[in-house]
Amino acid sequence: MIPMLQYKYATDSNPNYTTTGKSSLKFQLINQRADFSFALFSGGLSNPNLVAVSNSITFANPKAPVFPRLAQGKSWNEMTVTWTSGYDINEAVPFVEWGIEGQARMRSGAGTLTFDRSMMCGAPAKTVGWRDPGFIHTSFLKDLWPNIEQFYKLGHRLSNGTIIWSKKYKFRSSPYPGQDSLQRVIMFGDMGKGEHDGSNEYSNYQPGALKTTDQIISDLENIDIVFHIGDLTYANGYISQWDQFTAQVEPIASTVPYMVGRYKTDYGMFRFCIADTEHDWREGSEQYKFIENCLATVDRQKQPWLIFAAHRVLAYSSNYYYGQEGSFEEPMGRESLQKLWQKYKVDIAFYGHVHHYERSCPVYQSQCVTSEQSHYSGAVKGTIHVVVGGAGSHLSDFSQVQPNWSIFRDHDFGYVKMTAFNHTSLLFEYKKSNDGKVYDSFTISREYTDVLACVHDSCEATTAAS
């Protein structure tokens, strides 16, 4: 059986289709390593009957390397490049050619991975959702010079010596940790995918995904790194949707590091500690040690901006469901981790999972530590917690109760941009995906001596009772 990838109704372009038999539909096709055909069905989705199938159409090279995505490697001066092709290692040797324009070119080999149907857990991935994923290649570009524009091309060397090339891409290598320069970060969760041609696909419920993607692409010259904190495609077992997602974010992910998963990473004056909420984070767990190590080992004099992020809300959300539970968080989240955020003076913590935007005051033990809302300075008395899960998936409702710590809520699609101007000045902006305009913002001005200052429970433990 040939998997159906996208569909439209013949009545979309002509409401009188059923009487005239005439309709014209446009589809945008991406290279998914195989020929495409168009099929006409009667009976709708619930009772489809095949009426006709078109001739197949073929890409010039269905196996061509496509959809490169960048991520910072284990250290600041390493960039990983991952892409998709139809070339197994028996047929061609994958590599990246890269360097600084006008200087010697380097080549770095790539590893190749894939998976097959038997490795899927169950339907639909094993059944109607299965589609050959092709080959996933990853190369590690090492010893990058800081902050310089680099070009790169994906290559596959065939056994006869011919090289199949991708087009040429560019990225700017990361700043040296602590480097004083303009650094701009995008943060969001739960984006998903959509089709620019207006076609439908399975599990199609991320109405904001394209808006967010397009806003970020339009501002790409003013963005240095992107963090997508979980819920990427909502492919839900339909393998071809991973190609659709990587194609959708390609303009972003091929140009700036597009970070997903659990890791510690440094970007200039920022340190990011990203946790994985699908695994235990409580005290004594392996992950708790990872989080503490990440927060504890940064030199705040060089990297003042300390950011924590995780997919599920580990601290503060007045989302309807958390509100119903009366907890306003994942069980044991805040209880387990707030002493670390407080001790190590985390500036901002981000979460997804809940599909809207909410910002807390700087807060500790559910108490706002300041009445200030738009400009923060002085000692780090509490962490600002932000839910930024409204990048595309169907929106979540808020609870009717708005706790004191919740100072801004928006039931709409959006994402966050942080701009570090230098070691003492940070701008935070929440932008709506509809228009790219700023709807909530604040600034932080802070000297290193402010970070050193003892605050509640940061130097020695006390109780919040007053």
Binding pattern to Fe ion, positions 354-393, x when CB under 5 A?
---------------------------------------x
b/e 149-159 (16+ beta carbons within 10 angstroms → b) = ebebbbbbeee
330 touches Fe ion (CB under 5 A): no
| Min CB(190)–Fe ion separation in Å | 4
Ramachandran quadrant class, 147 (left: phi over 0; alpha: psi -120 to 50; beta: rest): left
Q: Are 426 and 357 contacting, i.e. CB atoms less than 8 angstroms apart?
A: no
Residue 177 to residue 305: CA distance in whole angstroms: 11
Nearest to residue 32, comparing CAs of 86, 107, 75, 82? 86
| Min CB(231)–Fe ion separation in Å | 4
Nearest to residue 309, comparing CAs of 176, 194, 434, 415? 415
Q: Are 440 and 430 contacting, i.e. CB atoms less than 8 angstroms apart?
A: yes
Look up residue 341 and give its DSSP letter.
H
Number of residues this chain uses to bind Fe ion (CB under 5 A): 3
Mark the segment that binds Fe ion (CB under 5 A) among 141-149, 188-196, 291-299, 337-345. 188-196
> Which CB atom, from 329 or from 450, has the smaller least distance to Fe ion?
329
Question: What stretches of 46-91 adopt beta strand conformation (E)?
Answer: 49-53, 66-72, 79-85
Q: Residue 436: which residues within 8 A CB-CB, separation 6 or more?
A: 215, 218, 219
Q: Are 143 and 74 contacting, i.e. CB atoms less than 8 angstroms apart?
A: no
What residues form DSSP beta bridges with 149?
172
> Which CB atom, from 318 or from 393, has the smaller least distance to Fe ion?
393
Mark the segment that binds Fe ion (CB under 5 A) among 187-195, 198-206, 442-450, 453-461. 187-195
Residue 80 to residue 127: CA distance in whole angstroms: 32
Considering only residues 283 through 312, tell me which ones interact with Fe ion, judged by CB under 5 A: none
> Which CB atom, from 177 or from 237, has the smaller least distance to Fe ion?
237
Considering only residues 433 through 452, tell me which ones interact with Fe ion, judged by CB under 5 A: none
| Min CB(146)–Fe ion separation in Å | 35
Q: Are 65 and 83 contacting, i.e. CB atoms less than 8 angstroms apart?
A: yes
Tell the residue number behind the tokens 């599920």, with chain if given. Answer: 312
| Min CB(433)–Fe ion separation in Å | 15
> Which CB atom, from 191 or from 361, has the smaller least distance to Fe ion?
191
Residue 269 to residue 180: CA distance in whole angstroms: 7
> Which CB atom, from 187 or from 420, has the smaller least distance to Fe ion?
187
Q: Are 415 and 431 contacting, i.e. CB atoms less than 8 angstroms apart?
A: yes
> Which CB atom, from 282 or from 394, has the smaller least distance to Fe ion?
394
Considering only residues 100 through 119, tell me which ones interact with Fe ion, judged by CB under 5 A: none
Considering only residues 390 through 409, tell me which ones interact with Fe ion, judged by CB under 5 A: 393
Binding pattern to Fe ion, positions 59-98, x when CB under 5 A?
----------------------------------------
| Min CB(353)–Fe ion separation in Å | 6
Report cis status (omega within 30 of 0) of the bond before 124: yes
| Min CB(230)–Fe ion separation in Å | 7
Residue 186 to residue 421: CA distance in whole angstroms: 15
| Min CB(291)–Fe ion separation in Å | 22
Considering only residues 223 through 242, tell me which ones interact with Fe ion, judged by CB under 5 A: 231
Binding pattern to Fe ion, positions 115-144, x when CB under 5 A?
------------------------------
User: For the chain, give me the number of helices (H) and strands (E)?
Assistant: 7, 24
| Min CB(324)–Fe ion separation in Å | 18
Length in residues, the chain? 466
| Min CB(198)–Fe ion separation in Å | 23
> Which CB atom, from 264 or from 409, has the smaller least distance to Fe ion?
409
Q: Are 414 and 395 contacting, i.e. CB atoms less than 8 angstroms apart?
A: no
Beta strands 183-188 and 66-72 are unpaired
| Min CB(288)–Fe ion separation in Å | 24
| Min CB(454)–Fe ion separation in Å | 39
Q: 3-class DSSP state for residue 20?
A: helix
Mark the segment that binds Fe ion (CB under 5 A) among 50-58, 117-125, 182-190, 279-287. 182-190
250 touches Fe ion (CB under 5 A): no
> Which CB atom, from 170 or from 394, has the smaller least distance to Fe ion?
394
> Which CB atom, from 383 or from 393, has the smaller least distance to Fe ion?
393
| Min CB(358)–Fe ion separation in Å | 15
Burial-class residue 51 by CB neighbours within 10 Å (0-12, 13-18, 19+): exposed
> Which CB atom, from 319 or from 342, has the smaller least distance to Fe ion?
319
Nearest to residue 279, comparing CAs of 342, 350, 320, 332? 332
> Which CB atom, from 84 or from 393, has the smaller least distance to Fe ion?
393
Residue 16 to residue 345: CA distance in whole angstroms: 63
190 touches Fe ion (CB under 5 A): yes
> Which CB atom, from 73 or from 208, has the smaller least distance to Fe ion?
208
Interaction site with Fe ion (CB under 5 A): 190, 231, 393
